[in-house]
Amino acid sequence: MDEAKKRIFSAAQPSGNLTLGNYLGALKNWADLQDDFDCIYCVADLHAITVRQDSAELRRRTLETLALYMACGIDPEKVIFFVQSHVPAHAELAWVLGCNTMFGEMSRMTQFKDKSRSHADNVNVGLFTYPVLMAADILLYQTDLVPVGADQKQHIEIARDIAVRFNNNYSPTFVVPEPYILKSSARIMSLAEPERKMSKSDPNKNASVYILDGKDDIIKKFRRAVTDSEACVAADPARPGVYNLVNIYGAVTGKSEREIEESFKGVGYGAFKDAVGEAVADLLAPVQTRYKDILADRAALDRILAEGAEKAAYIARKTLSKVYRKVGFYQIDKKH
């Protein structure tokens, strides 16, 4: 890794099928960053268990997530890529940071409130304290920048607050991370409820296009997409269903809103929806082919994860050792 480059850290859970929104809004951007930054990417399986998981499915999805990230262009030769639970320092630092985080800060986190409502039968302590683990993920690697969409900036504010508090209490220890706003990040909305973001956990399978969906399924989903009664293709935010389709088509083809409006002037929604579906299917087809080839070589995937965990653990141990000294934990002198 080039120490002169700014360090970026980002992580995603291996839960649910990754969507077109994940690809255009995150994974494509992650791949674009890897040449200009010192990138560390993580499959956040520790975070995944704040809601109940099927054990075999979680293991399978962890490996599939790695293969899919690689298929989307992330190169393990250029980045550190690992599974969160393979580096114990994440959980270890989370405990120390938890002892430096206020109860009130956690109780105000909106995601805890949202997930408590959607998983009322399993409102566990991990669901409450997950932002501390998220802070540990970021601060372990002395991260300079965390890539987020403009609507997600608040997600790293708690990590910044914890870092500043620890630095003030114990002397400078952590880099205080900054959000790296992905200006070109496409915000892809649900096909069924275009006021909401497309989600990999949406129970309505027609609401989300998954990266691994076949062409026929993709086109069917776009044909069912919510629009309105005006039958006119326009980039108008006041018409969220059509506006979402225009955004998707623009993100996939590189065409401007004006070009799209001109191309489909006088054309009904049916032809426009088919055009969007075809364009998305064409975009995802080579990703799907690469994914199948990568996933077929289990030994290579295991090797990538082992090497990634070793590199990540080396950086993490240096930070954790510094933290343990600062808080006063006795450490054995290995020279003796």
| 175 φ, ψ (degrees, to nearest 5) | -70, 135
Q: Whose structure tokens read 């426009």?
A: 272
**Secondary element (H or E) of residue 51:** none
Select which of 6, 113, 153, 200 is catalytic.
Answer: 200
Cα–Cα nearest to 58, from 97, 14, 89, 18: 14
Catalytic-residue membership of 265 = no
Select which of 78, 197, 215, 311 is catalytic.
Answer: 197
With contact defined as beta carbons under 8 Å apart, do 311 and 253 qualify?
Answer: no
Distance CA 161, CA 131 (A): 11
What three-state secondary structure class fits 39? Answer: strand
Counting Cβ atoms within 10 Å, is residue 88 exposed (0-12), middle (13-18) or buried (19+)?
A: middle
- For residue 84, the 8-state DSSP code is G
Catalytic-residue membership of 115 = yes
For residue 216, give both structure tokens.
Answer: 């026929």
Q: Is the dihedral of CA 303, 308, 310, 313 positive or negative?
A: negative
Select which of 5, 28, 113, 115 is catalytic.
Answer: 115
User: What sections of 268-297 are H helices per DSSP?
Assistant: 269-295
Catalytic-residue membership of 334 = no
DSSP string, 127-177: HHHHHHHHHHHHHTTT-SEEEE-GGGGGGGHHHHHHHHHHHHHHSS-S---
Positions marked catalytic? 115, 197, 200
